[in-house]
Amino acid sequence: MLDKQVSVLVTAAGAEGTAGKILRLRRQGFRVVAVDADSRAPGLYLADRGHVVPVGTSPDFVPELRRICSAEAVRAVVPLVDEELVPSWELSGCGLEVLLPRLGMVSVCLDKLALMETLDKAGIGVPPTRLARFGPGDLAYPLIVKPRTGRGSRGVSIVRTPEELEAALAAAPEEPGAMIIQEYVDGPEFSVSVVVWRDGRVQAVVPKEVVLKDGSSRYAISRRDEAVTRTCTRVARALGADGPFNVQLRIGPDGVPRVFEINPRFSGSSTLTAAAGVDEIGLLILQALDPHRPRIEDRWREGVAMVRHAAEAFVTEAELDVRGISLERTV
């Protein structure tokens, strides 16, 4: 049995959905250390300890996390934002369990064009995709325009005409060579939790239909869909998955699921996965720390709805100080 006070470090304390993850881990008995580059991140104040750190692209990011993990006796790290995934893997050399797929899969998934090409070669449905600098060619409008690398919906737009495409590329935050265009799939969207650990066996697949989206899922419902489950299981095999990941796909008018993005990490809607009955974060942490833990059972409830909203939490000033956050930094 593991010590109930295992310390876990969670990044991206200010991201949507992270606060819920932190609170759930604490309710399960974990001691949570939260980090973020912004001292205003709410998760810093909801964890047992909070630390302001450099951004994930900084050369100081990994040394600072290494220092915090040592000082806080952290045993497992849960990175939750794309730019931190590759550098976070360096922490595995310190004897820490990093709750991600191996670096090879992470790198492929973060390159959206390489991911589409890899899945297409494996016979998995994807929308036709190409580099924006080559023009739309035979791609059919409407098109999605987005950065080849990036997270969330930053820099993503839908265009319906050549004129709109030209305007979107002119306004893009990246150079045209770093942008891709992709056929838009008109149909129900799913965000799917795929639970895998180091033996590569898919333990659970939990599809969540995205009913309303504004950057991230605002309203989603757990839904059983065999075609979606089969597709995500095939994705795991094609990518050699050995850690948790999230599949984003749409089901086209022909009924075929088409994957348009994969997050090689826990998703923002992992809280809905847990509410439906598969606690992918807490249970995979336990598996990582204890190889004798049983596999997760793929049993969950359909029809569990998530309504994402802002909420207040109340703590004392003394608690804020105990958690390592200086009030002078909250500007």
Is the confidence at residue 146, as pLDDT, over 70?
yes
Q: Are residues 153 and 197 in the same domain?
A: no
Strand-by-strand arrangement of the 143-147 sheet: 129-131, 179-183, 143-147, 157-159
Looking at the predicted structure, is the pLDDT value of residue 123 above 90?
Answer: yes
Q: Give me the pLDDT at residue 150, please.
A: 75
Three-state secondary structure of 8-19: EEECCCCCCCHH
Query: Residue 152's domain is classified under what CATH number?
Result: 3.30.1490.20
Instruction: State residue 329's pLDDT score.
Output: 42
Task: Give the whole-number percent of the chain exceeding pLDDT 70.
Answer: 91
- What is the number of structural domains in the chain? 3
Same domain, 159 and 197: no
Q: Shortest CA distance to 33 belongs to which of 66, 58, 55?
A: 66
Q: What is the pLDDT of residues 219-274, one digit of tens each?
A: 899 999 999 999 999 999 999 999 999 999 999 999 999 999 999 999 989 999 99
Q: What confidence score (pLDDT) does residue 16 get?
A: 85
Q: What is the mean pLDDT of residues 109-135?
A: 96
pLDDT of residue 1: 47
**Which alpha helices (DSSP H) does the chain contain, by range?**
18-27, 43-46, 61-71, 85-88, 103-110, 112-121, 162-170, 226-239, 270-276, 280-289, 317-322
The CATH number linked to 289 is 3.30.470.20
Lowest mean pLDDT among 111-115, 147-151, 180-184: 147-151
Pair 71, 132 in one domain: no
What is the domain extent for residue 179?
A: 128-183
Q: Are residues 80 and 38 in the same domain?
A: yes
- For 2-61, what is each residue's pLDDT tens digit? 556 899 999 999 998 899 999 999 999 999 999 999 988 999 999 999 999 999 999 999
Average pLDDT over all residues of the chain: 91
Measured distance CA(81)–CA(125) in Å, rounded = 26
In a domain, 108, yes or no: no
- Tokens for 218? 């605002």
User: pLDDT at position 22, please?
Assistant: 96
Contact 159, 172 (CB under 8 A): no
Contacts of 322 (CB under 8 A, 6+ apart): none
Residue 213 shares a structural domain with residue 273: yes
What is the DSSP pairing of strand 74-78 with strand 31-36?
Answer: unpaired
